[in-house]
């Protein structure tokens, strides 16, 4: 008697069709080794677990003996996977990129006209000081004093400011001069912290999990206890927080800054999204948030602020207490080889172009226009997600990110990596949540990550691109409802080689 391959007996004797068998198997996935999307991720250079076996040379990825691949940030990995699925920057208009952490660069209602060219004197073709040109450093100090320190005795000067080529460069400069210390960080947080903590081994990483039940707030009381009992010497955090869109402000931010005085702890606060604050009251629009408001003495409080203007199409800055800035200047900006130890400094002509953009009145107008425009986009995306049955449990009050929980969707599209791969088929890019699980050793089973069921959606792009991506999400959900889960979780393109022939005709 032959057995039909299309049905199997269930324990009750009722026929169990193959579709149900597939669904049952998918529901039992509990480990990354069972998932094609997770295996593609692990096979990407630098994403294997570390400190399990001695490092070996991968001849396909590492051609220099002794070189260990550092892994990639979430955006880089996701861009590479998108390219394997046909994405290229020449035809990017066909795609919806809700992954990259970049705001739209076109005109914004109520904002000033965007600069389209840069005029500079001939001597600007010379290298700029690695600390930045003095006029720009003075402009940054003046803006911070005007915005956050009016009436305070202690004021920033150009000596507290260092201009760097980008946020990662700022983090690297600071990390390069920190000694052997325990460094506290939070999960979830900005993906680049994973690479910083991996590359600068003298920073011993100590994680703290932020709970959604507490709106991803940092427990200041517990942090004070951890500083005493664990000997934490450095705390790094983004504020406003990437990817959850939450912000520490007011009394809580004041308490956080006080840790630098009361507990001999250095705070490294990444404030790149300080302008992207979505106030509910009209009178508060245009206000930004910074720890600079609660620093008592700018020359002694151990707070390093990494801030920038790249999120509003300008330049990049960094503020530090004078004694730490002196260390950075000595180690990284002194004459000779150490002068260009890490990055060599920021672009000279663009520094000159940034000076007038930091005028306080100009900044006030830009912040007001930006907050109104991006709040509208945030509300639009939240409304559309609601109609798709994807309510956001903790809506963002800052940044331009939505931390979307997929846990209520049917497996396997209820995890960020698989959902991401399925959206690539629809020409849409998001960032899987696991990239924000700062985990330098990469040893945890990805299914056990607190970020496993999340994706980060950016509402930085223009609204037509947002709608294009949301339409794609809708198609995936309708397909799941109509066809079941048989076509999900597999058949992903492994590399760009499979579409190389398409590029030849572009």
Residues 482 and 111: beta-carbon distance below 8 Å: no
CA neighbor of 348 nearest in space, from 125, 159, 163: 125
Looking up residue 261, the CATH number of its domain turns out to be: 3.40.640.10
Task: Answer yes or no: is 306 within a domain.
Answer: yes
Q: What percent of the chain has pLDDT above 90? A: 58
Rounded distance between C-alpha atoms, residue 256 and residue 274, angstroms: 16
pLDDT band at 373 (very low <50, low <70, confident <90, very high): very high
Q: Residues 85, 150: one domain?
A: no
Q: Poorest-confidence range of 106-110, 126-130, 164-168, 302-306? A: 164-168
Give the 3-state DSSP-derived string for 271-321, with helices as H, strands as E and coil as C: CCCCCCECCCCHHHCCCCCCHHHHCCCCCCCCEEEEEECHHHCCCEEEECC
Q: What tens digit of pLDDT does each residue of 420-439 get?
A: 999 999 999 999 999 999 98
Q: Residues 247, 148: one domain?
A: yes
Question: Has residue 223 got a pLDDT over 90?
Answer: yes
Average confidence (pLDDT) over 119-143: 92
Rounded distance between C-alpha atoms, residue 313 and residue 168, angstroms: 17
**Quick one: pLDDT at residue 114?**
83
pLDDT band at 4 (very low <50, low <70, confident <90, very high): very low
**Quick one: pLDDT at residue 278?**
96
Task: Answer yes or no: is 108 within a domain.
Answer: no
CA neighbor of 453 nearest in space, from 398, 400, 393, 493: 393
Q: What tens digit of pLDDT does each residue of 242-279 get?
A: 999 999 999 999 999 999 988 789 999 999 999 999 99
Q: Residues 166, 239: one domain?
A: yes
Give one word for 344, left, alpha or beta, with left for phi > 0 and alpha for psi -120 to 50. left
Q: Residues 206, 236: one domain?
A: yes
Number of domains in the chain: 2
Q: Residues 250, 341: one domain?
A: yes
Task: Answer yes or no: is 369 within a domain.
Answer: no
Task: Answer yes or no: is 152 within a domain.
Answer: yes
Looking up residue 50, the CATH number of its domain turns out to be: 3.90.1150
Average confidence (pLDDT) over 297-320: 75
Residues 221 and 228: beta-carbon distance below 8 Å: no
Give one word for 203, left, alpha or beta, with left for phi > 0 and alpha for psi -120 to 50. beta
Helix (H, G, I), strand (E, B) or coil at 255: helix
- Residue-range definition of the domain harbouring residue 166: 122-359
Task: Answer yes or no: is 382 within a domain.
Answer: no
Average pLDDT, the chain: 84
């Amino acid at each position: 008697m032959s057995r039909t391959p299309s049905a199997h007996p269930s324990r009750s004797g009722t026929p169990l069709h193959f579709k149900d068998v597939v669904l049952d198997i998918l529901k039992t996935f509990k480990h990354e080794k069972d998932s094609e999307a997770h295996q593609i991720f692990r096979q990407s250079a630098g994403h294997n677990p570390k400190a399990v076996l001695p490092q070996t040379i991968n001849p396909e990825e590492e051609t220099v003996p002794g070189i260990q691949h550092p892994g990639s940030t979430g955006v880089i990995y996701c861009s590479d996977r998108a390219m394997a699925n046909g994405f290229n920057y020449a035809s990017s208009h066909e795609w919806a990129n809700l992954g990259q952490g970049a705001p739209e660069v076109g005109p914004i209602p109520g904002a000033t006209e965007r600069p389209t060219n840069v005029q500079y004197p001939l001597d600007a073709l010379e290298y700029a000081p690695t600390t930045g040109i003095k006029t720009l450093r003075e402009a940054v100090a003046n803006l911070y004093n005007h915005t956050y320190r009016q009436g305070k005795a202690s004021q920033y000067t150009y000596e507290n400011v260092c201009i760097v080529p980008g946020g990662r460069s700022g983090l690297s400069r600071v990390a390069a001069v920190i000694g052997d210390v325990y460094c506290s960080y939070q999960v979830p947080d900005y993906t680049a912290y994973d690479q910083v903590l991996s590359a600068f081994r003298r920073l011993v990483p100590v994680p703290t999990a932020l709970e959604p039940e507490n709106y991803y707030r940092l427990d200041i009381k517990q942090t004070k206890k951890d500083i005493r009992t664990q000997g934490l010497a450095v705390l790094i955090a983004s504020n406003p927080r990437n990817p959850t869109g939450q912000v520490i402000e007011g009394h809580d931010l004041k308490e956080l800054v006080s840790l630098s005085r009361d507990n001999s702890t250095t705070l490294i606060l990444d404030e790149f999204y300080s302008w992207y604050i979505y106030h509910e009251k009209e009178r508060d629009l245009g206000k930004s948030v910074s720890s600079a408001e609660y620093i008592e003495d700018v020359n002694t409080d151990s707070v390093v602020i990494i801030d920038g203007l790249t999120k509003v199409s300008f330049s990049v800055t960094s503020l530090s207490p004078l004694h730490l800035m002196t260390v950075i200047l000595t180690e990284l900006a002194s004459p000779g080889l150490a002068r260009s130890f890490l990055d060599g400094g920021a672009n000279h002509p663009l520094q000159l172009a940034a000076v007038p953009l930091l005028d306080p009145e100009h900044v006030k107008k830009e912040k007001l226009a930006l907050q109104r425009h991006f709040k509208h986009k945030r509300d639009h995306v939240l409304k559309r997600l609601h109609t798709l049955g994807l309510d956001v449990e903790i809506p963002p009050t800052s940044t331009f990110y939505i931390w979307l929980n997929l846990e209520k969707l049917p497996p396997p599209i209820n995890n960020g990596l698989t959902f991401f791969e399925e959206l690539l088929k629809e020409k849409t890019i998001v960032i899987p949540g696991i990239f924000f699980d700062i985990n330098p050793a990469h040893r945890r089973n990805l299914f056990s990550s607190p970020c496993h069921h999340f994706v980060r959606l950016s509402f930085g792009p223009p609204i037509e691109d947002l709608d294009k991506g949301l339409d794609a999400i809708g198609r995936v959900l309708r397909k799941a409802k109509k066809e079941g889960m048989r076509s999900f979780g597999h058949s992903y393109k492994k590399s760009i080689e499979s579409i190389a022939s398409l590029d030849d005709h572009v």
